[in-house]
């Protein structure tokens, strides 16, 4: 069933036989927003509106869930279970990209072909967080943001440190970084779904090309953030000047401006 969102134009995009709805808003350079679990919730919509208001054309594909449906734990767990058995995701793979990345790369190329400019921005969150890194294999992606990248899911040191990207794709990303590409990555320090070891791996592999933001969510932190805090620019955003989550949001918008407009 097709669902409309106020203020967004619903389009469809097909690649390799897979068709998905894409919600579009704004004008200016393109930014692809890959939603977190369980989908295009009201908080994700507010983030997309914020990006569009900064002078970007937002493209928000429906990868799972029901657009506009509010977040709840049963809803999130249901959609996560579906993703775990979907052929589009490889949620346990530490050194492999999810098949869905190919469709998203094609969407980025489509956006750039229409809008032109220096490139396309892409932000992944939670289960799609790592996708922004894999998308860099395509040279059209000029501003990748990883927000609480949560794949691979599972126990063990390899998965905690894993970046959910194939060795071949990582080599291509490192080549782009050596040529001047930049990456932005964010997490809360006590987020069990996005372990600190993963950011150690990012810094080890990408060096100065990756800018990391790690917001203190430990016991007694000055901001009163819960240890379960996870969604940096959506559900756990405190939209107040000076708050570290607001500073992270501002940095995302500035990063898009720097990389897409110069």
Identify which of 126, 118, 166 has the alpha carbon closest to the alpha carbon of residue 145. 126
Number of domains the chain is built from: 1
**148 with 128: CB under 8 angstroms?**
no
Mean pLDDT is lowest, of 95-99, 135-139, 156-160, 253-257, for: 95-99
Does 71 fall in a domain?
A: yes
Residues 228-254 pLDDT 10s? 999 999 999 999 999 999 999 999 999
Does 216 fall in a domain?
A: yes
What is the structure's pLDDT at 212? 98
How high does pLDDT run on average in the chain?
Answer: 94
Does 5 fall in a domain?
A: no
Q: pLDDT class for 92, splitting at 50, 70, 90?
A: low
Does 182 fall in a domain?
A: yes
Does 96 fall in a domain?
A: yes
Does 4 fall in a domain?
A: no
Phi-psi region of 59 (alpha: psi -120 to 50; beta: other; left: phi over 0): beta
CATH number, domain of 79, equals 3.40.50.1820
Provide the domain limits for residue 207. Answer: 17-261
The residue among 88 and 94 whose pLDDT is bigger is 88
What is the structure's pLDDT at 15? 94
For residue 53, the SS3 value is helix
Which pTM value belongs to this model?
0.95
Does 30 fall in a domain?
A: yes
In this structure, the number of other CB atoms found within 10 A of the CB of residue 106 comes to 16
Does 3 fall in a domain?
A: no
């Amino acid at each position: 069933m097709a669902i409309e969102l106020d203020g967004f134009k619903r389009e469809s995009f097909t690649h390799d036989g897979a068709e998905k709805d894409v919600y579009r808003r704004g004008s200016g350079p393109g930014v692809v927003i890959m939603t977190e679990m369980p989908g295009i919730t009201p908080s994700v919509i507010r983030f997309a509106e914020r990006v569009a208001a900064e002078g970007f054309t937002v493209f928000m594909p429906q990868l799972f869930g029901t657009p506009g449906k509010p977040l709840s734990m049963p809803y999130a767990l249901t959609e996560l279970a579906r993703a775990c058995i979907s052929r589009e995701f490889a949620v346990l793979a530490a050194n492999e990209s999810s098949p869905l990345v190919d469709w998203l790369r094609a969407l980025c190329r489509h956006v750039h072909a229409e809008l032109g400019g220096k490139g396309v921005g892409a932000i992944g969150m939670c289960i799609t967080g790592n996708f922004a890194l894999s998308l860099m294999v395509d040279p059209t992606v000029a501003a990748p943001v990883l927000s609480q990248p949560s794949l691979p899911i599972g126990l063990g040191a390899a998965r905690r440190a894993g970046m959910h990207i194939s060795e071949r794709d990582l080599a291509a990303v490192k080549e782009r970084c050596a040529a001047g590409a930049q990456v932005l990555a964010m997490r809360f320090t006590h987020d069990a779904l996005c372990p600190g070891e993963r950011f150690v791996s990012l810094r080890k592999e990408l060096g100065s090309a990756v800018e990391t933001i790690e917001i203190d969510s430990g016991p007694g932190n000055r901001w009163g953030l819960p240890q379960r805090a996870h969604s940096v620019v959506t559900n756990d955003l405190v939209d107040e000047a000076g708050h570290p989550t607001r500073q992270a949001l501002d940095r995302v918008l500035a990063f898009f401006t720097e990389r897409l407009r110069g």
